[in-house]
């Protein structure tokens, strides 16, 4: 199958639509949490930002869908918009169910340039989701919440995996359609550099509420975790989720490749006893 071909478009759109899951967040079986688990959930500092990001993503992706001329791609992007809005509903349901305190959220403001906003969001999702997969795996293994909580959020991460696989294929398809394939690599690099810059900004400012917060921070659960183990779980979880997709489709490669390089570098370092604390994150 040639990238950028009609067959490529059909496969990427069809696989997205076929793997859409029906569920209503309000009907999900949120479990009873004991006092310790409840306190842990309340101590996570980014629920407000997580809710805002999903609300903004839903509105922006839906608005972008309205501008898309190709009816098949339009339907898929509208479906992604629906799923992002549903993520916001899921977080709102969790907030209500466990009485998490939150101020009234500001209205969503749509970006003026909608297609660049969708593209930037797509690259940031690739970055955030990769770390989200790993941190979710670590938190699940450490049993920081009852299994039912992980069972509720696991399909959300699969949805994010679908979004990023759709995104990298859509981006390539668009580039091929616009006949600028030679710029594809450069453009991709530029967008990833921007997404990384946002995350690094958040790290250096100690900001757990801004862009890239899923990778940078949040709540320490006192799980002993070496950088090597962290990278290895991220790569493992990413590979596990990506294995569900048709191998003919492109998958996000840039961040996993960087992490493999980082892993090799860490293996060459003298063994240290350093541990890093781990964070729990939200889905992008």
Minimum distance from residue 166 beta carbon to Fe ion (Å): 9
Distances (CA, A) of 52 to 55, 102, 259: 5, 12, 29
Minimum distance from residue 127 beta carbon to Fe ion (Å): 12
C-alpha to C-alpha distance for 235 and 277, rounded to whole angstroms: 18
Residue 129 vs 188, nearer CB to Fe ion = 129
User: Is there binding between residue 241 and Fe ion (CB under 5 A)?
Assistant: no
Residue 105 vs 260, nearer CB to Fe ion = 105
C-alpha to C-alpha distance for 242 and 161, rounded to whole angstroms: 7
Minimum distance from residue 161 beta carbon to Fe ion (Å): 9
Minimum distance from residue 215 beta carbon to Fe ion (Å): 15
Residue 49 vs 87, nearer CB to Fe ion = 87
Q: What residues from 158 to 177 belong to the interface with Fe ion (CB under 5 A)?
A: 160, 163
Tokens of 175: 């580039």
Q: Among 139-147, 154-162, 240-248, 263-271, which window interacts with Fe ion (CB under 5 A)?
A: 154-162
Contacts 24+ apart (CB under 8 A), 80-86: 80/16, 80/163, 80/166, 82/58, 83/20, 83/159, 83/163, 84/54, 84/57, 84/58, 84/163, 85/54, 85/55, 85/58, 85/59, 86/25, 86/58
C-alpha to C-alpha distance for 119 and 141, rounded to whole angstroms: 33
Residue 158 vs 228, nearer CB to Fe ion = 158
Residue 8 vs 87, nearer CB to Fe ion = 87
Minimum distance from residue 125 beta carbon to Fe ion (Å): 5
Among 49, 86, 87, 241, binds Fe ion (CB under 5 A): 87
Minimum distance from residue 122 beta carbon to Fe ion (Å): 9
Residue 49 vs 163, nearer CB to Fe ion = 163
C-alpha to C-alpha distance for 43 and 203, rounded to whole angstroms: 19
CA 206 to chain centre: 20
Residue partners of 77: CB distance under 8 A and separation at least 6: 61, 64, 65, 68, 118
CA Rg value for the chain: 19
Tokens of 22: 């029906």
Q: Among 29-37, 87-95, 136-144, 257-265, which window interacts with Fe ion (CB under 5 A)?
A: 87-95
Residue 87 vs 241, nearer CB to Fe ion = 87
Minimum distance from residue 35 beta carbon to Fe ion (Å): 30
Residues 46-85: x/- map of binding to Fe ion (CB under 5 A)? Answer: --------------------------------------x-
Size of the site for Fe ion (CB under 5 A): 4
Distances (CA, A) of 127 to 7, 79, 92: 27, 21, 24
Note the residues at the interface with Fe ion (CB under 5 A). 84, 87, 160, 163
């Amino acid at each position: 199958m040639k990238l950028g071909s009609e067959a490529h478009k059909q496969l990427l759109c069809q696989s997205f639509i076929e793997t859409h899951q029906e569920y209503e967040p309000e009907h999900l079986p949120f479990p009873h949490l004991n006092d310790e688990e409840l306190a842990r959930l309340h101590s996570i500092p980014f629920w407000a930002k997580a809710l805002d990001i999903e609300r903004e993503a839903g509105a922006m992706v839906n608005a972008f869908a309205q501008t898309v001329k190709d009816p098949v791609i339009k339907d898929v992007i509208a479906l992604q918009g629906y799923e992002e809005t549903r993520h916001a509903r899921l977080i709102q349901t969790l907030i209500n169910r466990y009485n998490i305190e939150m101020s009234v959220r500001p209205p969503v403001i749509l970006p003026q340039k909608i297609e660049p906003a969708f593209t930037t969001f797509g690259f940031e999702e690739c970055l955030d989701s990769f770390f989200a997969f790993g941190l979710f795996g670590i938190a699940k293994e450490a049993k920081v919440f009852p299994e039912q909580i992980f069972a509720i959020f696991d399909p959300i991460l699969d949805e994010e995996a679908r979004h990023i696989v759709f995104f990298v294929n859509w981006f390539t398809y668009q580039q091929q359609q616009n006949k600028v394939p030679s710029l594809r690599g450069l453009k991709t690099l530029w967008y990833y550099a921007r997404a990384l810059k946002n995350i690094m900004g958040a790290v250096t400012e100690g900001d757990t509420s801004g862009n890239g917060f899923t990778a940078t921070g949040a709540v320490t659960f006192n799980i002993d975790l070496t950088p090597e183990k962290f990278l290895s779980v991220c790569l493992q979880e990413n590979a596990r989720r990506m294995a569900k997709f048709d191998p003919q489709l492109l998958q996000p490669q840039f961040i996993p490749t960087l992490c493999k390089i980082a892993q090799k570098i860490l293996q060459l370092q003298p063994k240290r006893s350093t541990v890093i604390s781990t964070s729990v994150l939200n889905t992008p």
